[in-house]
Amino acid sequence: MSEFKLTTVEEFEAATARLLETGAKVGADAWQMRVKNQTPHCKFGEQGVCCRICSMGPCRITPKASRGICGCDVHGIVGRNFLRFVAGGAATHSDHGREICITLSHAKEGGDYQVKDPEKLIRIAKEWGVETEGRDIYDLAHEMSELAQEEYGKIKGYSRWLKRAPQHTQDLWHAAGIEPRAIDREVSCALHMTHMGNTSKPEALIRQSLRNGLSDGWGGSMCGTEFSDVLFGTPKPIDTEANLGVMVEENVNIVVHGHDPSLSEMICEYADSKEMIDYAKSMGAKGITVSGVCCTSNEVAMRRGIPMAGNFLQQENVVLTGACEAIVVDVQCIFPALGPLSKCFHTKFITTSPICQMPDSDFIEFHSDNAGETAKNIVKLACENFKNRRPELVHIPQLKHKATVGYSVEAIVKTLDGVTNSQVDETGTTKPLIECITSGVIRGAVAMVGCNNPKVRPDTAHIELMKKLIANDIVIIASGCSAQAAARAGLMDKAAKDLCGAGLKRVCELADIPPVLHMGSCVDISRMMILAAELAKDSGLNISQLPVVGCAPEWMSEKAVSIGNYVVATGLDTFLGVDPYVSGSTEVAELLTSGVRDWVEAAYTVEKDIDKLGDLMIERIEAKRDALGI
């Protein structure tokens, strides 16, 4: 029998309970308490039937008021709210992508930012029809940065990245009229359409939702991922660890949190320098430990093996250890609660982006042109703060698991190459993976993504679903907080192969991979789109025919809905465990769960019962296999 054991959610919760005791001692509150004060939630908001788009309102639809003051019905209100939700998410991911493109413009030989993957840059340049022969790599980088930034506001044509999709998918997008134009334009168009007195026809609103989603996944997010790889290196398999136990009591602990790797990369770089380590020692610490929370953590874990302290709903826990000298944040998914919370401890809460400014934080503005200097100052501040710890409050839960991460598409293709005994066995294609799927050794794949949400017992849905799927020989590709849940539980430990069905276990052994593959951050879901596109092209199938689905069982952010929309629009059925505020309109709900299938060959399923959600995904995968006769 196998010795391998996952860390259980009960163990996670016991560790949190112990930290909350410390919190109580110092008068800190935490999301667990705030949830209580916010429950029950507003029913109108939950169903999406409240409109406050103009100041004649707010209007809400009730049995005795079937229309708002302007006459908008419930379907228009729910549809507009949904589209605005998507626009918020698409804007957020895409603006992050833009920052990366700007960082690329600051790359220079010997500078803070360099081109770490010149091959990838050349590959993309060729794709975009840019002359690469005999060019200086930085000259090329700067031209590509400019072209990429133009993608956001160009006056003609569609997103350049769409060409990466199989022809059939591009044809579907064209026929449905949902090819995204300039990235920013789709956000503006969505806000324009939903202004008072514009579109109230659900079908048109949902079409724009898909187009706006695509402008994220096949636009802004893809810029973010691809140019991050160019700048910081394309991820390769690397060992790391996950959970709060990665923090080291004797060391200066710096926690990076947020999404944009431009800052966290620099922090990691300087925290690793002899000068800074010596400085930490002069302050009485043994060294410096950088660990991460949320997607910026995924970014540096994938490229540097930096350990992951936790995911979204653990961000307060890192401060509650009493051993966090600085929590350094860039953008997105950062609790404003960290301000008052850090004041209860010695922790410095350092905000760095003009996009994300919060009360009770030290704002140290970070730009790509002063990156090194700023990062060094932040690391120094953290070291100097070590002496301010209150030893009686220090407690780091000793929970952690090892994890192998870093599965970019490039890495997956390389790792799986040679797994099969196939004569074809061409290097650089997804054919070995297709062969595993066709032969039934692997039944299919699920892209597990998205956040935590207190509406679902945190991490349980991610972990339980993954356990169920791998036991059924379904391989998981994961990103965002879902990936971190997996890593903390131990599902990214290669030994987790013992929890798989016989087929998947064999593949894990042959390829030396864990059954849950960490593909990166939330913008890296664009990697999953590229993988699906490659699988379709290499197999001659349409994306919608592949036994592959997407799942976000605990999602919470606008970004997640934008992601859901581009995953569906790409032809992959998407399973949600939390309702996106559309239950108030039968028409909108019907379009999302079925109507859109006529346009893009995929749709949403919403199911709050996690066990059922798992069954539904397995059924869908098996139905796709049946349809192919495999």
312 binds ligand CUV (CB under 6 A): yes
Nearer to ligand CUV, 294 or 529 (CB): 294
The residue range among 47-55, 90-98, 336-344, 434-442 that interacts with ligand SF4, by the rule CB under 6 A, is 47-55
Among 210, 371, 379, 522, binds ligand CUV (CB under 6 A): 522
As given in the structure block, the two tokens for residue 94 are 């895409």
User: E strand or H helix at 328, and its extent?
Assistant: strand 326-329
Determine, following the binding rule CB under 6 A, whether residue 68 of this chain makes contact with ligand SF4. Answer: yes
- Identify which range of 16-24, 133-141, 528-536, 557-565 contacts ligand CUV by CB under 6 A: 557-565
Please, which residues have CB within 8 angstroms of residue 165's CB and are 6 or more apart in sequence?
A: 173, 218, 529, 533, 543, 570
Shortest reach from residue 56's CB to ligand SF4, in Å: 4
Of 50 and 475, CB closest to ligand SF4: 50
Which of 14, 42, 56, 630 is close enough to bind ligand SF4 by CB under 6 A? 56
Site mask for ligand CUV (CB under 6 A), range 588-617, x = bound: ------------------------------
Q: Which does 56 bind (CB under 5 to 8 A by kind): ligand SF4, ligand CUV, none?
A: ligand SF4
First to last CA, the chain: 32
Cα of 179 vs its chain's centroid, Å: 23
Sheet holding 288-293, edge to edge: 362-363, 348-351, 326-329, 252-257, 288-293, 308-310, 238-242, 401-405
At closest approach, how far in Å is the CB of 71 from ligand SF4?
Answer: 7
**Positive/negative CA dihedral, 136, 141, 142, 147:** positive
In angstroms, give the least distance from the CB of 105 to ligand SF4: 41
From ligand SF4, ligand CUV, none, which one binds at residue 54 (CB under 5 to 8 Å depending on kind)? ligand SF4
| Nearest approach, Cβ of residue 604 and ligand CUV (Å) | 18
Q: Which does 295 bind (CB under 5 to 8 A by kind): ligand CUV, ligand SF4, none?
A: ligand CUV
- Say which residue the tokens 């400019």 belong to: 146
Q: Within 233-262, which residues bind ligand CUV (CB under 6 A)?
A: none
CA distance 228 to 234: 8
196: CB partners within 8 A, 6+ apart: 53, 54, 70
Pick the stretch among 36-44, 53-61, 371-379, 471-479 that binds ligand SF4 (CB under 6 A): 53-61
Find which of ligand CUV, ligand SF4, none residue 481 binds, CB within 5 to 8 Å per kind. Answer: ligand CUV
User: Which one of ligand SF4, ligand CUV, none interacts with residue 522, CB within 5 to 8 A by kind?
Assistant: ligand CUV
- Verify binding: residue 70, ligand SF4, rule CB under 6 A: yes
What are the φ and ψ backbone dihedral angles of 384, each rounded to 5 degrees?
A: -65, -20
**Distance in angstroms (rounded) separating the CA atoms of residues 363 and 350:** 6
Choosing from 19, 20, 30, 72, the residue that interacts with ligand SF4 (CB under 6 A) is 72
Binding flag, residue 295, ligand CUV (CB under 6 A): yes
We find the least distance from the C-beta atom of residue 83 to ligand SF4, in angstroms, to be: 14
Cβ closest to ligand CUV, residue 79 vs residue 450: 450
By CB neighbour count within 10 A (0-12 exposed, 13-18 middle, 19+ buried), where does 423 fall?
A: exposed
Q: Residue 338 forms beta bridges with which residues?
A: none
3-class SS of residue 349: strand
Closer residue to ligand CUV in complex, CB, 229/330? 330
Contacts 24+ apart (CB under 8 A), 588-591: 588/48, 588/75, 588/78, 588/79, 588/82, 588/202, 588/205, 588/206, 591/202, 591/203, 591/206
Q: Which stretch binds ligand CUV (CB under 6 A): 37-45, 214-222, 243-251, 555-563?
A: 555-563
Minimum Å distance from CB 60 to ligand CUV? 28
Q: 272-292 burial by CB neighbour count: b if 16+ within 10 A, else e? A: eeeebbebbeebebeebbbbb
For the bound state, the minimum distance from the C-beta of residue 35 to ligand CUV, rounded and expressed in Å, comes to: 16
Rule CB under 6 A: say whether 353 interacts with ligand CUV.
no
Q: Which stretch binds ligand SF4 (CB under 6 A): 69-77, 174-182, 426-434, 437-445?
A: 69-77
DSSP code at position 593: I
According to the binding rule CB under 6 A, does residue 584 interact with ligand SF4?
no
Q: Are 216 and 90 in contact, with CB atoms under 8 Å apart? A: yes
Number of H helices, E strands in the chain: 26, 16
Distances (CA, A) of 135 to 131, 389, 573: 8, 52, 43
* Binding-site string for ligand CUV from residue 433 to residue 452, where x marks contact by CB under 6 A and - marks none: -----------------xx-
Alpha helix ranges (H) inside 493-585? 502-511, 525-539, 558-569
Closest to 473 measured CA to CA, from 449, 494, 454, 497? 497
Q: Does 294 bind ligand CUV (CB under 6 A)?
A: yes
Stretch that binds ligand CUV, among 133-141, 168-176, 374-382, 552-560 (CB under 6 A): 552-560
Query: Which residue type sits at 461?
Result: A
Q: Are strands 574-576 and 604-606 parallel, antiparallel or unpaired?
A: parallel
Residue (71 or 153) nearer to ligand SF4, CB: 71
Count how many residues are written for the chain: 630
- Here's the x/- map for ligand SF4, 180-199, by CB under 6 A: it reads as ----------------x---
Instruction: Output 68 or 220, the one with its CB closest to ligand CUV.
Output: 220
Contacts of residues 435-440 at CB distance under 8 Å and 24 or more positions apart, as own/partner, are: 436/503, 436/507, 437/546, 437/547, 437/630, 438/539, 438/630, 440/503, 440/625, 440/630
Task: Report, in Å, the least distance between residue 562 CB and ligand SF4.
Answer: 23
What region does 250 belong to: left with phi over 0, alpha with psi -120 to 50, or beta? alpha
Indicate the residue among 183 and 535 with the shorter CB distance to ligand CUV.
183
Q: Which of 470, 621, 617 is nearest to 545 (CA)?
A: 621
One character per residue 75-94, x = contact with ligand SF4 (rule: CB under 6 A): --x-----------------
Of 208, 521, 562, 565, the one binding ligand CUV by CB under 6 A? 521
CB nearer to ligand CUV: pick between 263 and 333: 333
Site residues, ligand CUV (CB under 6 A)? 294-295, 311-312, 333, 450-451, 480-481, 521-522, 557, 559-560
Site residues, ligand SF4 (CB under 6 A)? 51-54, 56-59, 68-70, 72, 77, 196
